[in-house]
Structure 1
Amino acid sequence: MKTFSVEDYLSANRERFEAISTYIWEHPETRYQEFESARFLADELEKEGFHVERGVGGIETAFIATYGEGKPAIGFLGEFDALSGLSQKANSTEQEALVPGGVGHGCGHNLLGTGSLAAAYAVKAYFQENGIKGTLKFYGCPAEEGGSGKTFMVREGVFEGLDAAFTWHPSYSTTIMSLSSLANYQVYFRFKGIASHAANSPHLGRSALDAVELMNVGVNYLREHVVQEARIHYAITNSGGISPNVVQSEAEVLYLIRAPKVAQVDEIYKRVCKIAEGAALMTETEMTIVFDKACSNYEPNRTLEEILYQKLKQAGPVQPTEEDIAFAKGIWDSLSDGEKKNFVSGMESFGYFGDGSEFEGKFLSDIISDYVASDKVMPGSTDVSDVSWVVPTAQLTAATSAIGTPLHTWQMVTQGISPFAHSGMLLAAQSMAAAAVHLYENEDALQAVKAEHEKKRAKEPYFCPIPKDVKPSAVK
């Protein structure tokens, strides 16, 4: 068998992958609106010799790229959506929007999608060098940010027939993402009342905004009576207008309800619905519930995580240059005292265990943290979770930003196409590709991975938390 090095392949093609990441960064798009990003990535995969099926799962910006045939079938999950309000110039230590109020890659999904694509390319090259049989897939997954694109894709059977899946996420640490996550529901509550003159005839009006406010007060009292790990967030998406002398006839509030298990989320959701009904009764308004999206809690596959960790350790951490460190110091200096003090907590949510002492005096992580299979739940959500219920899944995080950099901030955006970020992206690609190659070459290892998954599903079958009649929708 010919000798083939995943590391050498990725190194030789570094400029190509940097250009793809930069293109996605320069064309940020929000959930289900990633038309340019999805088209660009799908076109690149076709040029590479993959067969691309676009618009899968009834989602225009979702696609599957396939190379090879037969078993095993292994896939890489790629994301490419961005966030509103986070436009920012690249490689700057000061906040400065490219487009005021515009969109930016505040969660590093330009890196995430490109890193998974690079892993797929490396495995394809390995196939060609060694005559390996099997199926290789790249999944273009839109709308992770607030849209649960993968959950809709799972509901529509997009991942059927896949034997294992890998993905990753940028952060400021390098380790295995071994924690479970919070399941969630995202739901609109719309109230309709009667408009009237707020001074001349207020008694004739029925305020939808009053209903929203009363609902929010009621939910605030509920917070004491839910499980400790639960989170209930809301945003008033329609206050009924800007005229205080009009009784608002329409108002809307969007709720995001999180808990460690879907069943817990559902229980809290039903109680929130009762509070909304009560608010409507108190204000004599009509209330409509519009279910937006949901996702499950993440189900780690420890056997697959161990394989991925070994490949990550073999690859070794990125060693930053003096230029990388100087830029990272500038980012660190831009953080608040609270953000600096909170950096260990940020690492913990990605699977780090420790007191952070090994990072004292550093501005970039230059180590691979130990893998710990923990029952802890990270205080966030991801639609990778639903894939993990139907396919054995493992994910890692790679350092791409300065220590302490919070996600969904201008600091995350500005570091998104830095040399250090791209080095972390390629480390993730190398580790995932090597883990996939291991499964293609070791049937026993793959069977052990699948056996763990099947044992869990025998105890707790999967059901999709998004009702069948709910359709994916873009940001309002």
Structure 2
Amino acid sequence: MIVPRLVFAAKSKSTVTSEEALQATEEVSQTIQEVGMKLWDISEISLQEVESSKYLKNILKKNEFKLTSEGTSHVPTAFIAEYGTGAPVLGIMLEYDALPGLGNEAVPYKQPRKDHITSGHGCGHNLIGAGALGAALALKNLMKEKEISGTLRVYGGAAEETEGAKVYMARDRLFDDVDTMLHWHPLNVAGVANIRSAALSQMYIEFSGKAAHAGLNPWDGRNALAAVEIFLHSVNMMREHIRPTARIHYIIKNGGEAPNIVPDKASVLLTCRDENREYVEKSVVWLKSMAEGAALATQTEALAVDYYGVHDLLPNTPLAERMQHHLEKIGVPQYTKQEIKFAKRLQKEAGLEETGMTKDIMFLPNEQTLGGGTDVGDVSWQTPTMGLIMPASPEGIGVHTWMATASHGSSIGTKAAIASAKVLTLMGIDLLLDNKLLKQVKDDFLKRTKGFVYQSPINPAIKEPVSLPKSMRSYESALELKNSFYKQAGDDQFMPTE
């Protein structure tokens, strides 16, 4: 079991009022806006956030943070930066990857970007990077001005949408000495993230058959696509027998080259989710058995691997209650008539009731499980963690849509990032100065994790994200990496390195 440190810094003689903390955040609000829009403009997808990562690191260095790790845990675009020394150690997480195919101008109708960039921040990670960075800058300034002891650590969490860096960091135990971790996420409502997100595993399934002319001599071939069809039919029959909390979704990555050639290769990318790692891992075993059965039925060979995964998100009651207090103090942003008009136009495009932006803060959630997953989950099982959500898009508009991309590139998104930075700054000051709160937080964490031993959901044979472009790999070539995986895993699994 990972036990957080119970040695506290001597109580600081410094005091920081709420007004001072909010003023410190206000002083970096222009930076928050600039960062949010710059990341939105760049819109680099997971594992390719080279310019985004460089941009954020440069801002941190200019603001007296020391870069202690770059290319962290073999994720080239991940990093860690620090300010200060000693205990307590307060962590803040940044995200900055965009999504493929969601590019759109920051207008309330569907319009491709004029610069022809097709990716877009449909999940608002440009705002996460901006708001969390803003909170870190505000806290640094307060620590310096008020001579507050402790370490402020910023984690550059690359690639949250695919093979999130935080799980690789967790595997390397890079959160062991962190006392508490803070984060936030844009959505269409306002609330504290006192929830349990789903655990998940990502799988690659490949079938190998034998090519043949589909018209002249198909009997000499063995159809890999037929094996995929049987496998996916089995997956859909499985749905009757999975828990209501489970989700299974997939795409056919490769289905052959031409209809008159019996496909000798076919592959599937699949994600399996459920409320905890135990349930997910049981489903993965079942899915691998299905692949074997489909191969037997078609006289092909099956290769299957769960190459990446995350844990569910672990709540923390003292953190949640204190964050709820600060969120209610800050409230939702105030919007102009033009922003409300923008929001309603997006809702009209989506066929929704034109209500505009949310006006209320949700009651503190009661730790219910949601269907989505995040690599923040693995952090939360290693150190007490809490986040918030802030409206950056109109009511009813979901993330991972072009409408969210448009909103996240507007002043509506900027206001969400600034408001979130204020909440995170207030929380950060509390955690740096209030030893009583910090002990309550850690006691809650120890109670929830009693008997738990963290095990990484990433196979130890995998040294770096398998989706890295070849030009960014640090280890073997694709073929060598595949052979290395076979040797280390000792079974019939396969690395989707192409």
TM beyond 0.5: yes
Counterpart amino acid of residue 381 in structure 1: G
Q: Distance in 1 between matches of 2:86 and 2:364?
A: 32
Aligned counterpart, 1:94:
110
Q: Distance in 1 between matches of 2:422 and 2:322?
A: 13
| Aligned-pair identity (%) | 33
More off after superposition, 145-154 vs 114-123: 145-154
Aligned counterpart, 1:103:
119
Please, which of 49, 52, 63 is the counterpart of residue 34 of structure 1? 49
Aligned counterpart, 2:474:
none
Matches within 5 A, 1:22-101: 22-52=37-67, 53-98=69-114
Counterpart amino acid of residue 73 in structure 1: V
- TM-score for the superposition, normalised by structure 2: 0.88
Please, which of 285, 289, 309 is the counterpart of residue 270 of structure 1? 285
2:157 pairs with 1:141: yes
Counterpart amino acid of residue 425 in structure 1: A
Whether the 8 Å CA contact 1:154–1:387 is kept in 2: the answer is yes
2:395 pairs with 1:380: no
Q: Distance in 2 between matches of 1:147 and 1:2?
A: 41
Q: Distance in 1 between matches of 2:224 and 2:461?
A: 27
Aligned counterpart, 1:343:
none
Aligned counterpart, 1:321:
336
Matches within 5 A, 1:318-357: 318-337=333-352
Aligned counterpart, 1:448:
440
Counterpart amino acid of residue 70 in structure 1: G
Matches within 5 A, 1:257-296: 257-296=272-311
Aligned counterpart, 2:491:
none
Please, which of 187, 200, 220 is the counterpart of residue 184 of structure 1? 200
Whether the 8 Å CA contact 1:57–1:157 is kept in 2: the answer is no
Counterpart amino acid of residue 238 in structure 1: N
Shift of 1:436: 1.1
SS in 2 for 1:380: strand
For these two proteins, the number of residue pairs brought into alignment is: 452
SS in 1 for 2:290: helix
Give the superposed CA RMSD. Answer: 1.5
Deviations 1:95-140, CA, capped at 9 Å, x for gaps: 4344668211110000011111111001101101211000001110
Shift of 1:466: 1.5
2:423 pairs with 1:431: yes
Aligned counterpart, 2:175:
159
Counterpart amino acid of residue 362 in structure 2: S
Q: Distance in 2 between matches of 1:433 and 1:59?
A: 28
Q: Distance in 2 between matches of 1:169 and 1:64?
A: 20
Flag structure 1 segments of 5+ consecutive residues without an equivalent.
341-360
Counterpart amino acid of residue 445 in structure 2: H
Shift of 1:335: 0.6
Aligned counterpart, 2:412:
420
Q: Distance in 2 between matches of 1:316 and 1:408?
A: 25
Whether the 8 Å CA contact 1:257–1:268 is kept in 2: the answer is yes
Counterpart amino acid of residue 58 in structure 2: D
Deviations 1:210-264, CA, capped at 9 Å, x for gaps: 11111001111111111121111110001111x1110001110011001101110
2:383 pairs with 1:368: no
- TM-score for the superposition, normalised by structure 1: 0.92
Q: Distance in 2 between matches of 1:279 and 1:166?
A: 45
Whether the 8 Å CA contact 2:273–2:371 is kept in 1: the answer is no
Q: Distance in 1 between matches of 2:115 and 2:409?
A: 17
Whether the 8 Å CA contact 1:95–1:410 is kept in 2: the answer is no
Shift of 1:317: 2.2
Counterpart amino acid of residue 193 in structure 1: G
Shift of 1:11: 2.1
Shift of 1:444: 1.1
SS in 1 for 2:371: coil
Aligned counterpart, 1:347:
none
Aligned counterpart, 1:226:
242
Change in 2 beyond 3 A, CA 1:48/1:209: same
SS in 1 for 2:460: coil
Aligned counterpart, 2:475:
none
SS in 1 for 2:394: coil
SS in 2 for 1:363: coil
Shift of 1:302: 1.1
Q: Distance in 1 between matches of 2:141 and 2:359?
A: 29
Q: Distance in 1 between matches of 2:16 and 2:194?
A: 32
SS in 2 for 1:390: coil
SS in 1 for 2:429: helix
Q: Distance in 2 between matches of 1:206 and 1:2?
A: 73
Aligned counterpart, 1:248:
263
2:393 pairs with 1:401: yes
Shift of 1:2: 7.3
Flag structure 2 segments of 5+ consecutive residues without an equivalent.
1-13, 469-497
Whether the 8 Å CA contact 1:392–1:449 is kept in 2: the answer is yes
